[in-house]
Amino acid sequence: MPTDALLIFGAGGHGRVVADAARAAGATGLLASDRNPALCQGELLPGIPLHRPDAPTPAQATALHVAIGHNAARERESLALGLQRLHTVCHPAACVSPFAQLGAGCFVAAQAVVAPGARLGLGVIVNHGAVVDHDCRIGDFAHIAPGAVLGGDVQIGPGVLIGAGAVVLPGRSVAAGAVVGAGAVVCDNIDLPGSWVGVPARRKA
């Protein structure tokens, strides 16, 4: 991660979480912006000024983190702003194995674990306290919500949301675009998009 001049794009709650983590990781000179000009007033957090999206980007802010929790919106903005500018942010209290691979623009929150052999695509969020065990594969712009647990060798498709506190048993897969509800337990592979809830997880009508 760069130590300065990181632009955080997204002025909502997730933006504040990412800004807090970036600063804890030692970043200085943080800036913030949002697609919605009405949100671009004052500061994202104390000392992190918000800039209007139509104002010229400060020259030093070439590095970018798209801090939007909604998967499709995060993907859309990342593509619009330039994948080559994306930087990953890991909170210093996260435990990320040096033998894991993280694509550009990922965020790993405090108390999250990413184990050896895990491979994360672009713009993946591993939120507070989530566990991504060994050899998991996570597709681009997926979100593993707070407290969710992926057992070893799990495969998560692009754009998937694994809800807060959900569990995916080892070796299972979750298809692109699926939403696994908060607290669900995925015991069988999920091959279709849509919302899956309960224990064991079943497709919601």
**Position 1 contacts ligand COA (CB under 6 A):** no
Paired residues of 95 in beta bridges: 113
Residues 71 to 90 in contact with ligand COA, rule: CB under 6 A? none
70 is catalytic: no
| d(C-alpha 132, C-alpha 177), whole Å | 19
Give 103 or 181: the residue with its C-beta nearer to ligand COA.
181
Copy the structure tokens of residue 41. 């007033």
List Cβ neighbours of 86 (8 Å cut-off, separation of 6 or more): 64, 65, 66, 78, 104, 105, 122, 123
Binding mask 138-157 for ligand COA (x = CB under 6 A): -------xx-----------
Residues 115 to 134 in contact with ligand COA, rule: CB under 6 A? 127
What is the smallest separation between the CB atom of 65 and ligand COA, expressed in angstroms?
Answer: 17
User: Which amino acid makes up residue 138?
Assistant: I
Q: Among 125, 122, 160, which residue's Cα sits nearest to residue 146?
A: 125
Binding mask 171-200 for ligand COA (x = CB under 6 A): --------x-xxx-----------x-xx--
| d(C-alpha 162, C-alpha 182), whole Å | 7
Catalytic center residues: 134
Write out the residues near ligand COA by the rule CB under 6 A: 69, 127, 145-146, 163-164, 179, 181-183, 195, 197-198
